[in-house]
């Protein structure tokens, strides 16, 4: 059960309206790595969790906080849009700076959303559940969560650099700090799971079914050999079950594809000999 309280988790008060920046802020609301994505990702991971209760509880703790972040950003966007409809055309024509600002805002903020936020990214692409990951394998999911928080924190830091508004920066600094905490949480959970499950997902798969002779081979499939210098090409593997092997000139191991012609009802392009046979049939 969820319930709502009126106070935000943290302040979301810009110093002055800025409809152009409101458009930019939409990215961390409804973008691929925005707060809506992590909110829905964590909620479904938590609701679907079949592991120990400590994991379910932790996931839903973070998921519920992300709901608060969605509300904070939506509130900030709405306030950044204050006064946006007062775009006096005569004034805009006289002042190129005003005209440029009004031209750079998202017109849907006024036309469609009534000076409010929308569940879209910064270019108006609608949020989609395909951004989310909830596989039922906690190690796989927590790695996806770490990626989401890493990308999200990166984008919030970039947005911080794009404004000088102290109120906006104050809220973003809070979100940046929470992303720091969440990255640490997911890393801690990943480390704990790897100690019991191993590093490779899924751990339950029978290794005898794996083509083990290529399990730890690094193929040099591009010009240059600089990649050989990395940790991923030399020494023991991270799962502790083998050693990396660098293959300088990997050779093909498969057959040359040779597909049979499709049946006549497919109306594909038959081989030359079939076309010639068909032509003779038509001529006769």
Could you list the mean pLDDT of each consecutive 10-residue stretch along the chain, which spans 284 residues? 94 94 97 98 98 96 98 97 62 56 80 93 97 98 98 98 98 98 98 95 90 94 94 95 95 93 86 72 65
170 in a known ligand binding site: no
What confidence score (pLDDT) does residue 263 get? 87
Long-range contacts of 209-215 (CB under 8 A, 24+ apart): 215/242
182 in a known ligand binding site: yes
Domain residue ranges in the chain: 19-197, 219-247
What confidence score (pLDDT) does residue 92 get? 53
Give every CB contact of residue 180 below 8 A, 6+ residues apart in sequence.
Answer: 153
273 in a known ligand binding site: no
What confidence score (pLDDT) does residue 23 get? 96
What confidence score (pLDDT) does residue 89 get? 46
What confidence score (pLDDT) does residue 246 get? 96
Q: Which CATH superfamily is domain 19-197 in?
A: Ferritin, core subunit, four-helix bundle (1.20.1260.10)
222 in a known ligand binding site: yes
CA separation for the pair 21, 168 (Å, rounded): 10
69 in a known ligand binding site: yes
What confidence score (pLDDT) does residue 47 get? 98
pTM greater than 0.85? yes
48 in a known ligand binding site: no
Per the CB < 8 A criterion, the answer to whether 128 and 41 are in contact is no
């Amino acid at each position: 059960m969820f319930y709502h309280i009126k106070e935000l988790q943290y302040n979301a008060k810009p110093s002055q309206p800025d409809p152009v920046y409101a458009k930019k802020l939409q990215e961390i609301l409804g973008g691929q790595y925005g707060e809506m994505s992590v909110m829905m990702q964590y909620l479904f991971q938590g609701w679907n969790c079949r592991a120990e209760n400590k994991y379910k509880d932790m996931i839903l703790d973070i998921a519920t906080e992300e709901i608060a972040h969605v509300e904070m950003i939506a509130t900030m966007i709405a306030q950044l849009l204050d006064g946006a409809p007062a775009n006096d055309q005569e004034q805009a024509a006289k002042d190129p700076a005003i005209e440029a600002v009004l031209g750079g805002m998202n017109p849907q903020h006024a036309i469609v959303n009534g000076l409010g936020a929308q569940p879209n990214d910064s270019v108006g692409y609608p949020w989609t559940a395909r951004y989310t990951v909830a596989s039922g394998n906690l190690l796989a999911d927590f790695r996806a969560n770490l990626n989401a928080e890493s990308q999200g924190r990166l984008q919030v830091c970039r947005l911080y650099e794009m404004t000088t508004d102290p109120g906006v920066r104050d809220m973003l600094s809070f979100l940046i700090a929470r992303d720091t905490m969440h990255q640490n949480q997911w890393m801690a959970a990943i480390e704990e799971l790897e100690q019991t499950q191993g590093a490779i997902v899924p751990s339950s798969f029978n290794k005898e079914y794996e083509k083990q002779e290529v399990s730890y081979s690094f193929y040099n499939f591009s010009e240059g050999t600089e990649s050989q210098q990395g940790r991923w090409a030399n020494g023991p593997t991270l799962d502790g079950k083998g050693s990396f092997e660098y293959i300088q000139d990997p050779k093909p191991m498969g057959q040359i594809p040779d597909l049979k012609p499709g049946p006549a009802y497919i109306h594909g392009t038959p081989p030359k000999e079939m076309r010639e046979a068909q032509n003779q049939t038509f001529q006769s």
